[in-house]
Structure 1
Amino acid sequence: MSDPSPRRRLMSPLTRRILLINLAAPIALVLAFFYLDQFRLSLIDTRLTALRYEAGLISGALGEVAISPSEFSPTLEPELARQLLRRLSAQSSARARLFDADGEMIADSRLLLAAGRGVVTRQLPPPNIDTPWEQALIGLYDKINALFMTTLNLPKYVELPFTHANDYPEARRALNGDDSDQLRDLADGRIMLSAAVPVQGLRKVVGALLLNVDSAELDARVREERLGVLKVFAAVLGFTVLASLYLAGVIVRPIHRLAEAAERIRAAKGRIAHLSLPDYSHREDEIGDLSSVLRAMTAALSQRLDAIERFAADVSHEIKNPLTSLRSAMETFLRTEKPELRERLLAVMQDDVRRMDRLITDISGASRLDAELARSEAAPLDIAVMLQSVIETYMTRLADTGPKIELKRVEPGPYLAIGFEGQLGQVARNLIDNAISFSPPNGTITVAVKREPRHVMFSVADEGPGIPTDNLESIFERFYSERPASEAFGLHSGLGLSIARQVVQSLGGEIHAENRDDGKTGARFVVRLPL
């Protein structure tokens, strides 16, 4: 059989489950945010639309200003077009290139001519003012973004030393009179956005304007938004972890302490009364309920074990007395030759055997009582009907020689209570047997039943000498026997009243003894059972 003792672990499985369940929602949220790249795609589409609009404005200006005055064959004026293009695109982040009708590039906003040489200008990135913590977060973002970024499968962008309109399909389409745009992948993972529009003079295409801008600004904006989400996620993650650990401590630690205490009780070799479970009854939750129930269960178990020990000691003591008497009588019987003495010794041995038989029978019944009560199911029972049935079994036997038994109903029935018919019948018989023992031959035993606000009460009263005040409680102890002087010794084991109390208490009721106060002598046993 496996060892039931709680195992020591680095982290409780319940703690891990609480953490995983609490972390699932924020993790799923942030992963979905990275996976669903619609925000980035919508920004690209918006920027491409703006780029086409910007190209249209510049193309219109070039068509109005940088065209030769020839009415039949208008052409672009290269120098004028270069100056105008540089001025118009100065405030734009896009790179503007102008091609003539033959596809030759005549102007580039990033190309400066000085001393016969061309110098390409580039827009510098903003200075890095991020803190080391933010840089680490950005590095983490870039790695995660590389895993979840949507792949568009775009053609590669290649920067050629000598650019011609034929190198860009969108520029060729613009020379044919159509607006066009194109997306391309850059080597560093960015996207190059291109928009090309025709330059017209007198409704004739005299050139093509190509605007290019990379997605650095868009990616920076997306990254800024996502970093904001990551910062919120980090704060939520920290709070979730701390809250989960607190919750695990509130739930797991008490359960673990209860389990360890229960294991100590299970492994205890002797008495468990000195062992106790942690008390969380002050908590108004399920842990407090569990602690209270376990403590009550441990106390009941301790009481039951103590009762078993006392019962075993009492049984051994009660059986030892007739055995000692029997052994002494047998030894004397073997040594004596007097017929009179032998006859008296045989009578003593017979009494001892009957006493032992009575003891063993009652002890067996008391031992089976717990199992019977555990297996039986309490049901509604009319107490008056049950008492009438019990009394009728005594009528014939006591008709001539014994006291009379009468049932007194205080008000009309029924008298319904929850109980076990067999066990409550045994309680009634034990009380009536006890009353018969102390009643005079012509006396009357009164069995009364009545309803109370929350109980059904029945009592058994005799007309005997009554019970000494000091013994009103001790008579319910096991093997206690205070019998009339006229009764033969050993006819009662002293378990009847103890069994009666055990049955009544198992039903949530109570039983007590008192002396009559109605002008008659005698004892009265009162039983109250819940309605």
Structure 2
Amino acid sequence: MNGKKGLEETSERLSGQSVKASSITRRILAINVFALAVLVTGLLYIGKYRQELIESEIASLMTQAEMFAAALGEAAVGGENTEQPYLQKIIASQIIRRLTATTRTHAQLIIKGGQILTDSKLLLEPGGLVQIEELPPPNQDNRITRYLLDALDQILQRFQNQIQPSAVENNSLQGKLTSPEVQKAMAGEHGHTILQAENGQLSISVAVPVQRYKHILGALNLKKQTTSIDDAVFEVRLEILKVFGIALFVTVLLSIYLARTIARPLHKLAAAANLVRHGLSRQYSIPDLGLRSDEIGRLSAALKDMTEALWERMDAIEQFAADVAHEIKNPLTSLRSAVETAAKIRDPEKQQKLMSIIFDDIQRLDRLISDIADASRLDSELSRARMEKFDMGNLLSTFSTLNRKTGDSQGIKLSLKIADGSPMFVLGLKDRIIQVLRNLLGNAESFSPPNGTITVKAERNGKSVAITVEDEGPGIPESSLENIFNRFYQERPSEEKFGTHSGLGLSISKQVIETHGGTIWAENRKSNNGKILGARFIFWLPAEN
């Protein structure tokens, strides 16, 4: 019991370690997490969504610029009655400051020559111009997340087409401004572009013409950072990451559960098979997982059946070895007794009888060893040999022709009856089927009376071919019908010389027929009043089309 407990504990420990480091678990986790990661990576890269937001912001900013330009054209124009109307700086500055205060945009009014007339970030105070600067936003949360998402953007931008900055932002508040969109506005068209500051922050710049009665007086340039767009995109991504976190947690749990339902029973089966292999007794068995209706359940049932078949085969081998030892011991005992006796007597006649006994025992041993060798080779030969398709009717006709003289010394006749109709094709080994026929024919000859008849019949019954061998002998004792196919079992005629047969013929015949997928049995031929008329051996084989 201690040995058994130790082996089981060792098996459980090894099985537990194997489950923890199971390659199946790692593979299932890797595949499921990788697929989820690829999906989330694609969702996180919402470049198209960001582009749509930028385009929407450009349209909104363009509308604001048109409204601002219309207001300037109505209220900030001087010299209307002259040929050269102009924009009044003070009035234009007041209008621009008031309009941009609520829109959080940066506005610049440019006149001909690219000269900046007024800027919403410059205030005219008694002490001079004062520049307005927006304070940076307070420390943002999720800075690491933002950094990782920005890095992801930079990587994926190489594989996708999206809006790219077309110019570097010019932070000049005075002097000249000759950007492309401003030049288009001075020419009477609308223009826009994406700018990038030194810190990498993007901004949108639009420019529209400021005119009075279709007379272009200047250009209004509105700029706005994409911070609100970046924040909106970040919030969407953050929600995706939250969902991804939950999905990842569920995926990992389900993957581990799935892996354990696969790996753990497999390790149990492997550990049990190892115990069966190294165990010295049959106290170890394959776990019964037959309640599982999947491949593992079928594998468990197959391993269990295989183990039981191996034990049965081992039992058969042990029994065969014991029977061989017993059968060989009998002639050896007789030989020893005859040799010891021959050494003690001087009578030539008695010595001649002893020599005859020794010769018969040697022949018996030779026959027995030959049959045992044939029986021991049978399994391996049947497993290696390639079966072929042949006509049983033709085989019986040839066999009958070669054995017509069987029993001529006693006047025994051989009658062959092959039913007409469908061909009797079978798949098998011709030589072994002939061996079965010889064994049955020899057995019938041994029990047939002088001038008797041995009848061999062949017919096809549906999907099988039936062969029958009948004799006119004394029949088989009812108590022996189940035993005559056992190894070394002998039920011989009283007048037959002892040791003529080894008792393996019918056993070999049964093994050959069952290997071919057929069945063999014996019964007595009886008359209507129940009198035994002889023995009948029947075997059938699966028929081939």
TM-score (norm 1): 0.87
**Equivalent residue in structure 1 for 2:418, among 403, 406, 409:** 409
Asked whether the 8 Å contact 1:504–1:529 carries over to 2, the reply is yes
Letter in 1 for 2:263: V
Between 201-210 and 501-510, the greater mean CA deviation after superposition = 201-210
Asked whether the 8 Å contact 2:475–2:532 carries over to 1, the reply is no
Deviation digits for residues 292-348 of structure 1 (CA, Å, limit 9, x no counterpart): 333222222222222222212221221122112112211111122222221111111
1:257 aligns with 2:268: yes
- Displacement of 1:50 after TM fit? 3.5
Give the match for residue 228 of structure 2: 217
1:523 aligns with 2:535: yes
Letter in 1 for 2:378: L
**Equivalent residue in structure 2 for 1:120, among 113, 125, 132:** 132
Q: Structure 2 vs 1, CA of residues 140 and 36 (structure 1 numbering), >3 Å: closer, same or farther?
A: closer
1:302 aligns with 2:311: yes
SS of alignment partner, residue 165 of structure 1:
coil
**Equivalent residue in structure 1 for 2:30, among 8, 16, 20:** 20
Give the match for residue 211 of structure 2: 200
Distance across 2 between alignment mates of 1:58 and 1:123: 25
Q: Structure 2 vs 1, CA of residues 63 and 413 (structure 1 numbering), >3 Å: closer, same or farther?
A: closer
Distance across 1 between alignment mates of 2:176 and 2:235: 36
Give the match for residue 436 of structure 2: 427
Letter in 1 for 2:374: G
Asked whether the 8 Å contact 1:515–1:522 carries over to 2, the reply is yes
Give the match for residue 298 of structure 2: 289
Give the match for residue 49 of structure 2: 39
Asked whether the 8 Å contact 2:166–2:193 carries over to 1, the reply is no
Asked whether the 8 Å contact 1:278–1:291 carries over to 2, the reply is yes
Asked whether the 8 Å contact 1:402–1:436 carries over to 2, the reply is no
Q: RMSD across aligned C-alpha pairs, in angstroms?
A: 3.2
Asked whether the 8 Å contact 2:107–2:223 carries over to 1, the reply is yes
1:441 aligns with 2:450: yes
- Displacement of 1:413 after TM fit? 4.7
Distance across 2 between alignment mates of 1:495 and 1:296: 28
Between 487-496 and 105-114, the greater mean CA deviation after superposition = 105-114
Identity %: 42
Distance across 2 between alignment mates of 1:490 and 1:338: 26
1:62 aligns with 2:110: no
- Displacement of 1:495 after TM fit? 0.3
Give the match for residue 62 of structure 2: 52
Asked whether the 8 Å contact 1:382–1:415 carries over to 2, the reply is yes
Letter in 1 for 2:21: M
- Displacement of 1:501 after TM fit? 0.7
Alignment of 1:293-442 (within 5 A): 293-442=302-451
SS of alignment partner, residue 71 of structure 1:
coil
Letter in 1 for 2:535: A
SS of alignment partner, residue 475 of structure 1:
coil
Give the match for residue 256 of structure 2: 245
How many equivalent pairs are there?
520
SS of alignment partner, residue 166 of structure 1:
coil
Distance across 2 between alignment mates of 1:17 and 1:41: 38
Asked whether the 8 Å contact 2:165–2:194 carries over to 1, the reply is no
Distance across 1 between alignment mates of 2:143 and 2:479: 88
Distance across 1 between alignment mates of 2:519 and 2:414: 23
TM-score (norm 2): 0.85
Q: Structure 2 vs 1, CA of residues 328 and 400 (structure 1 numbering), >3 Å: closer, same or farther?
A: closer
Q: Structure 2 vs 1, CA of residues 123 and 62 (structure 1 numbering), >3 Å: closer, same or farther?
A: farther
- Displacement of 1:11 after TM fit? 2.9
SS of alignment partner, residue 475 of structure 2:
coil
Distance across 2 between alignment mates of 1:195 and 1:381: 94
Asked whether the 8 Å contact 1:458–1:528 carries over to 2, the reply is yes
Q: Structure 2 vs 1, CA of residues 409 and 101 (structure 1 numbering), >3 Å: closer, same or farther?
A: closer
Give the match for residue 11 of structure 2: none
SS of alignment partner, residue 482 of structure 1:
coil
Distance across 2 between alignment mates of 1:202 and 1:341: 156
Letter in 1 for 2:26: R
Give the match for residue 497 of structure 1: 506
Deviation digits for residues 448-479 of structure 1 (CA, Å, limit 9, x no counterpart): 22222332222222222222222211111111
Q: Runs of 5+ in structure 2 lacking a partner? A: 1-13
Give the match for residue 460 of structure 2: 451
**Equivalent residue in structure 2 for 1:183, among 186, 194, 209:** 194
- Displacement of 1:120 after TM fit? 2.5
Alignment of 1:135-146 (within 5 A): 141-142=149-150, 144-145=152-153
SS of alignment partner, residue 343 of structure 2:
helix
- Displacement of 1:506 after TM fit? 0.8
Asked whether the 8 Å contact 2:463–2:542 carries over to 1, the reply is yes
Letter in 2 for 1:165: K
SS of alignment partner, residue 193 of structure 2:
strand
Letter in 1 for 2:478: T
Between 33-42 and 116-125, the greater mean CA deviation after superposition = 116-125
Letter in 1 for 2:375: A
